[in-house]
């Protein structure tokens, strides 16, 4: 069985409040990696920085120090140029797509951000790149696909107005690869489980805050809820099971 942890929506901004929440989550994860309690990978699914500033990414690198293999991708609060400069030490504004091939699992993070916009989109180029990664890994290898913006509405109007613009290409991609065990995203600052293109679609809780459902009150942001982490378990039958944890901070 593989264990893939996911954190999302850190909104690192230099404040003690946000850093305390990120540190609590990383302390929790780092205390559980290694040996029989091994976590195979950590997904960081966007809105790493609050304003996309280089100093925010430098803080994120420090805060996310871990021995767990980490895959990053970007959200609508991120800036590709600043991220690539700090994290990848490259001068470019290319989408941030990553692949991690474990012994029996392929994990992909795909950049659904659109520079200057709050909603998202997975381009043909990104999905073609992902298809090539899947072909190289082999059709017998299960695949977990991660991105920032949910591909479907989830019942929070603030997010449903800012999800993926046109998920038709993504649905085509998922349907073309039966070995995709599920898709996971962030952006919504709430743990949620639904389906997309006939596969599980899991939304990770937020680290920086939680967003209220319409019946939970008039305020959009809920800062009382604990920072959260998702644990995705992929078993030998290619079945995806997700557990959520709220971490005291």
- pLDDT class of 36 with cuts at 50, 70, 90: low
* 43-47, 73-77, 83-87, 168-172: range with lowest mean pLDDT: 83-87
Q: Is the pLDDT of residue 207 over 60?
A: yes
Tell me which residue of 238, 140, 134, 235 sits closest to 182, measured CA to CA: 238
Model-level pTM? 0.96
Mean pLDDT value of segment 188-211 = 97
The HSE-up count of residue 84 (CA atoms within 13 Å, CB side) is 13
- Tens of pLDDT, residue by residue over 126-179, are 999 999 999 999 999 999 999 999 999 999 999 999 999 989 999 999 999 999
pLDDT at 249 over 90: no
Contact between residue 94 and residue 125 where contact means Cβ atoms under 8 Å apart: no
Confidence of residue 204 (pLDDT cuts 50, 70, 90): very high
Burial class of residue 83 (count of CB atoms within 10 Å of its CB; 0-12, 13-18, 19+):
buried
Return the pLDDT at 9.
Answer: 98
Report pLDDT for 136.
97
Write down the pLDDT at residue 37.
Answer: 65
Tell me which CATH code domain 2-246 carries: 3.60.21.10
* Beta carbons of 9 and 208 less than 8 angstroms apart: yes
Whether 2 contacts 50, CB under 8 Å? no
Q: Is the pLDDT of residue 91 over 90?
A: no
């Amino acid at each position: 069985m593989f264990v893939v942890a996911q954190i999302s929506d850190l909104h690192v901004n230099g404040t003690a409040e946000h850093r305390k929440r990120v540190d609590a989550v990383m302390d929790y994860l780092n205390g559980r990696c290694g040996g029989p309690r091994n976590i195979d990978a950590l997904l960081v699914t966007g809105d790493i920085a609050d304003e996309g500033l280089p100093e925010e990414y430098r803080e994120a690198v420090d805060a996310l120090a871990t021995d767990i293999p980490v895959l990053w991708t970007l959200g609508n609060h991120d800036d590709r140029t600043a991220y690539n400069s700090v994290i990848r030490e490259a001068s470019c504004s290319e989408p941030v797509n990553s692949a991690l091939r474990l012994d029996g699992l392929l994990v992909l993070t795909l950049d659904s951000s659109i520079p200057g916009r709050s909603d998202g989109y997975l381009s043909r180029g990104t999905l073609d790149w992902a298809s090539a990664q899947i072909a190289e890994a082999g059709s017998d290898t299960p695949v977990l696909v991660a991105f920032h913006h949910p591909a479907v509405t989830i019942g929070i109007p603030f997010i449903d107005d800012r999800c993926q613009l046109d998920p038709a290409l993504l649905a085509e991609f998922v349907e073309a690869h039966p070995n995709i065990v599920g898709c996971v995203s962030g952006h919504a600052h709430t743990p949620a489980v639904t389906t997309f293109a006939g596969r599980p679609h899991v939304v990770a809780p937020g680290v920086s805050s939680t967003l209220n459902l319409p019946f939970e009150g008039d305020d959009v942001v809920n800062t009382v809820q604990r920072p959260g982490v998702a644990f995705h378990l992929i078993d030998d039958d290619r079945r995806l099971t997700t557990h959520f944890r709220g971490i005291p901070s």
